[in-house]
């Protein structure tokens, strides 16, 4: 079973809980928090989830915050993370197919819960195409 890291701030908490409940029968979920709707600093949770994916402790990561931008920017500071901001299933599909994204960020203030679930399902069910995209992905890292 694939392992998924979840992380969010207060704006993403309710969606994280919904996703956790929806995914638990098909994936092993590691929840990095936050654990309530009390205001928190998103980097604390995004870094923890990203580090777990970077170390191979989790296969993929899903981050959530109001715009999705803060958690995505934070995750992408990690050398071996490719976190895509996904607001529709087609973006999630291309992030996996063409960019070999290993994390995704959801903008919870701009998408409905059902759409969030569809985006996540598309992301997790899509394989990297490799081929011409492999060379491009290999050029992303700075070191």
pLDDT at 96: 98
Q: Is 48 exposed, middle or buried (0-12, 13-18, 19+ CB in 10 A)?
A: middle
pLDDT at 30: 98
Kindly report the CATH number that applies to the domain delimited by 3-138: 3.40.1400.10
Using CA atoms, how far residue 8 sits from 5, 72, 93, in Å, is: 10, 11, 22
For 43-54, how does the pLDDT look when each residue is reduced to its tens digit (9 = 90+)?
999 999 999 999
Catalytic one of 26, 80, 86, 98: 98
Catalytic one of 8, 47, 65, 86: 65
The whole model's pTM is what? 0.95
With bands split at pLDDT 50, 70 and 90, how would you rate the model's confidence at 66? very high
Instruction: Note if 98 is an active site residue.
Output: yes
pLDDT at position 143 over 80: no
Instruction: Select from 68, 62, 84 the least CA-distant residue to 11.
Output: 68
Domain boundaries, given as residue ranges, for the chain: 3-138
């Amino acid at each position: 079973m694939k392992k998924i890291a979840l992380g969010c701030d207060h704006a993403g908490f309710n969606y994280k809980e919904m996703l956790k409940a929806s995914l638990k029968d098909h994936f092993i979920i590691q929840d990095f928090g936050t654990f309530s709707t009390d205001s928190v600093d998103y980097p604390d949770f995004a870094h923890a989830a990203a580090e777990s994916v970077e170390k191979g402790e989790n296969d993929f990561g899903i981050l959530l915050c109001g715009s999705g931008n803060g958690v995505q920017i934070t995750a992408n500071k990690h050398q071996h993370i490719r976190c895509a901001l996904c607001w529709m299933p087609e973006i999630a599909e291309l992030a996996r197919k063409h960019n070999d994204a290993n994390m995704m960020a959801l903008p919870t203030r701009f998408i409905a819960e059902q759409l969030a679930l569809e985006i996540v399902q598309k992301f997790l069910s899509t394989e990297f195409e490799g081929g011409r995209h492999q060379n491009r992905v290999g050029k992303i890292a700075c070191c």
